[in-house]
Structure 1
Amino acid sequence: MRLAGVAEPLVDNCRPALEALAELDALVRPQEQARVVVQTFFGVASQPVSADRVDVVAQAIADTDASALYRIGYSYAPFHCPDCAASYCGDHWDWREFDDDPFSGIEGDCPRGHFHVLAY
């Protein structure tokens, strides 16, 4: 994960869906807003960071503190299970896509069986 600057475009065109995400990010994110770019086992996600959170998010990233990132916003560290106080890779999460109109995303269970929505 990394903190992307306000003018830095999200570029990831290894799959059509990620290319579309990059284009959407460029359209909807306010020009002066930073974001966290998270490479997860289910793809790349770009999450906006409000100006009042930039310093604490940057510090959590510098400290590689997934727990702190998760507390700030679960989408900043979706691979982290706060119930276990541990982070897991995709091979350990039992994850799946869901589509419960109007909501869709990724949900899963950590190795100890704790259920979490991982991404919307």
Structure 2
Amino acid sequence: MPQDPLPIPLTDLRRRVNVARNLIRTLLTELVGPVELAFDFYREWNGCWRVRVEIKDPINARLEFTLMDTPAGGMLALPRPLPERWRLETGIPATDGTRWTLDTDGHLTPFAPPNAKSL
């Protein structure tokens, strides 16, 4: 039985830095309201791009995101660690309109709202 394609780590950030910034800003604004952010992009040993984000206002916090390409060509900024509210209630939105989460084993999976009915 073939498995649906999943997002893969983003390895080419050229011309996509602003997309990543806007995606993370939108994601955090959805969670806490308007925020002031500072971004620090860096590559992991395996070539994957990550971002350290410092929230400066209205709260002080630091989060890290792994940047990923979705199967439809969008970008996903996966927070590490993933807050339970996002994992269970809202999912993490990607730029292509899809939403993703982690299952109980920590595997990336499409997000299905808790009230969604199975077909």
TM-score by length of 1: 0.29
Higher relative CO (Cα under 8 Å, sequence separation at least 6) belongs to 2
| Higher helix proportion (structure 1 or 2) | 1
TM-score by length of 2: 0.30
